[in-house]
Amino acid sequence: MQDAERWRELGQQLRVDSIRAAAVTSSGHPTSSMSAADLMAVLLDAHLRYDFGKADDPHNDHLIFSKGHASPLLYSMYKAAGAVTEEELLTFRKFGSRLQGHPTPEIPWVDVATGSLGQGLPYGVGIALAGKKLDRLPYRVWVLCGDSEMAEGSMWEAFEHAAFFELDNLTAIIDVNRLGQRGETMHGWDLDSYANRAKAYGWHAIEIDGHDVEAVDRAYTEAQATSGQPTVIVAKTIKGKGVAEVADKPGWHGKALDNPEQAIEELGGIRNIVVDVHAPDRSAEPYVFATSGELELPTWDEGEEVATRLAYGEALEALGAARGDVVAVDGEVSNSTYADKFAKAFPERYFEMYIAEQQLVATAVGLQVRNWVPFASTFAAFFSRAYDFIRMAAISQANIRLCGSHAGVSIGEDGPSQMALEDLAMMRAVHGSTVLYPSDANQTAKLVAAMADREGIVFMRSTRAATPVIYGADEEFPIGGARVVREGDDLTIVGAGITLHESLKAAEHLAGEGIEARVIDLYSVKPADGDTLRAAAEATDGRVLTVEDHWPEGGIGDAVLEALSLGGDLPARVVRLAVREMPGSGKPAELLAAAGIDAEHIAEAARSLVGAPVGAR
């Protein structure tokens, strides 16, 4: 069989198998799969370089379905490649199957979870960056995109950065099938719309008929021959191609076909072509950055005043010296987050993401696909811009380290737009996340080191203002632990970061009044140290005061209550101080006082808590 003929047959097989898969539970997106079948048939048979027997081979190409809902097509490709049996294909969307409605890395050949649109290409940029600048291997990144998702701004962050970094190892394929979920897209079949945008961003753009397999093949060849810029192939396709009942008809998005057997017949029936996928280019080995090997964390003397954000920057630099696999990305604020220290010391392992937080997080996710250890930083408030990427990163089982600086009202005059007051809530609600909030520089350094190899999404909140060093440089801070910084049995005060220091000041005042407060540093907000918290609650007759530079919901107060509730009996009385009114500008001290979370207000709340008898309101 000639190449073209084989590709057409394979395309039909992929259509047939997509329909068969969706028929299993009568759900899924077969028509979205059918439009891209020819594009993927040619890719799989003639251009993708991948060893399905060795998913973790660093030389492998990477294929991402940014239009993740076309999962039937992806899984049908795996079957054609011999990686998945027909039997397994027919478990699509069934409970317990790894062939889920949208692809996840439960499947070894899937790098990143998609399904939330507009994300696959940003992840692809991260992987391509790894390929070009870190691994320095010739693998290619192929991203299948939908036309509907081109409306997502994150796609254009990807376009911008891919061109800026000259990622000619990245090829985007846009399946322009004209129909979104609800109706026609903004641009229909106007391929120029997409191509002109791409060219304005500095990409090479090729417009083709997505069902002309020879044109598809030529486009892939041209993309691979293009240097200095990434290529987008803008392919005109028909949603539901091959089955008259659904081809180019609205109303069929996300629906299994009513008459799958009839459709399969119309497509020429079931086939069993097995593709011998081209092996990866194994001519080179992944680059390894030289390092000192020994981790020498920075240390500070007790009593010094040091901002934890500065400690983050210095610790990250030290980590970078010891670990060649550590890389950093930041969002145009590295002189504020202090990621600039790493950037200056290791310019080959630092990538400026500019003001594009979605791409910032997506790049980190892409880099860790290739086992690099990414630390991504920006203001904690701005990680909210990338929350959907963080949410999806958990489904991707990604190992990413995030540092958000400028936490809380204590940043001062910049005002609320720059203040993170919901970041603890946001990050606690991420599956499998770790949430750290150090109070001093030595603790920060130790936690930064611990972040490097911790699985999952690890978030550290750092403070703008300088705060006293209260821990020795030799102290250890296990994640999931808490520190009793001050002993006392009259009440428990739980703080972290800036409020830990305010709590200690309050405790001093209270001691003068004969009230001995047990002050706990909850540097590990998640997982929280339930044992220490429960022991403290018990020892202090159930009187617990929590204080956070954060809204009342979802942060330290909630974390403490949750930990206390897990022990069975709850303590009698928990008072929660937090920021309850929208702050404005002002000096840090003014803002902390206005929010009722400074030493004076903590002491006041403590007096009330101790004064009232247990069992009273």
DSSP class of residue 409 equals G
Question: Which residue bears the tokens 């009044």?
Answer: 513
Pick from 39, 63, 117, 592 the residue near its own copies by CB under 8 A.
117
d(CA 78, CA 83): 5
Question: Which residue bears the tokens 């200056």?
Answer: 344
DSSP class of residue 439 equals S
- In this structure, what are the phi and psi dihedrals at residue 30, rounded to the nearest 5 degrees? -65, -40
Does 152 engage in binding with its own copies (CB under 8 A)?
A: yes
d(CA 62, CA 385): 26
Degrees to nearest 5, angle at CA 372 with 278 and 128: 45
d(CA 48, CA 79): 15
Shortest spacing between CB 197 and its own copies, in angstroms: 5
**For its own copies, which stretch binds (CB under 8 A), given 214-222, 236-244, 501-509, 588-596?**
588-596
Helix (H) or strand (E) segment spanning residue 154: helix 153-164
Nearer to its own copies, 7 or 203 (CB): 203
First to last CA, the chain: 84
Shortest spacing between CB 379 and its own copies, in angstroms: 9
Nearer to its own copies, 59 or 543 (CB): 543
Helix (H) or strand (E) segment spanning residue 589: helix 588-594
Does 587 engage in binding with its own copies (CB under 8 A)?
A: yes
- In this structure, what are the phi and psi dihedrals at residue 225, rounded to the nearest 5 degrees? -90, -5
Q: Is 502 a catalytic residue?
A: no
> Active site residue: 357, 455, 487, 548, which one?
357
Contact positions with its own copies (CB under 8 A) in 472-531: 526
Binding mask 395-414 for its own copies (x = CB under 8 A): x----------------xxx
Shortest spacing between CB 402 and its own copies, in angstroms: 14
Binding mask 431-470 for its own copies (x = CB under 8 A): xx--------------------------------------
**For its own copies, which stretch binds (CB under 8 A), given 55-63, 98-106, 261-269, 596-604?**
98-106
Does 200 engage in binding with its own copies (CB under 8 A)?
A: yes
Distances (CA, A) of 371 to 246, 442, 586: 42, 28, 43
CB atoms within 10 A of CB 473: 15
Nearer to its own copies, 558 or 598 (CB): 558
Count, residues near its own copies per rule CB under 8 A: 118
Does 54 engage in binding with its own copies (CB under 8 A)?
A: no
Pick from 355, 475, 489, 513 the residue near its own copies by CB under 8 A.
355
Shortest spacing between CB 575 and its own copies, in angstroms: 8
Pick from 49, 133, 199, 509 the residue near its own copies by CB under 8 A.
199
Binding mask 210-249 for its own copies (x = CB under 8 A): ----------------------------------------
DSSP class of residue 242 equals T
Pick from 4, 25, 51, 133 the residue near its own copies by CB under 8 A.
25
3-state secondary structure of 517: strand
Does 120 engage in binding with its own copies (CB under 8 A)?
A: no
Does 334 engage in binding with its own copies (CB under 8 A)?
A: yes
Contact positions with its own copies (CB under 8 A) in 56-95: 68, 93-95
d(CA 204, CA 186): 22
Shortest spacing between CB 429 and its own copies, in angstroms: 4
Pick from 66, 399, 410, 418 the residue near its own copies by CB under 8 A.
418
Contact 140, 171 (CB under 8 A): yes
Nearer to its own copies, 449 or 570 (CB): 570
Q: What is the CA radius of gyration of the chain?
A: 27
Q: Is the sign of the CA dihedral 74, 77, 81, 86 positive or negative?
A: positive
Helix intervals (H) in 146-234: 153-164, 191-200, 213-225
Pick from 58, 138, 416, 527 the residue near its own copies by CB under 8 A.
416
- In this structure, what are the phi and psi dihedrals at residue 597, rounded to the nearest 5 degrees? -125, 20
The residues that are catalytic are 357
